[in-house]
Amino acid sequence: MEVRVVEKEHDVLRVEFPQGEETLLIPLVEALQREEKVVEARYFLGHPFLDRPGLYLKTKGEKPQQILKRVLKDLADLYGDLLMDFEKRADKLKA
Dist. CA 48–CA 76, nearest whole Å = 27
Look at the chain and report how many structural domains it folds into. Answer: 1
CATH code of 88's domain: 3.30.1360.10
Domain that includes residue 43, residue range: 4-94
At residue 61, the 3 state secondary structure works out as coil
**Listed residue (80, 82, 87, 72) closest to 24, CA to CA:** 72
pLDDT score for 36: 95
pLDDT score for 91: 72
pLDDT score for 59: 97
Return averaged pLDDT per consecutive 10 residues of the chain, 95 residues in all.
87 88 86 96 87 93 95 89 79 65
Dist. CA 85–CA 52, nearest whole Å = 33
**Furthest CA-CA distance within the chain:** 55
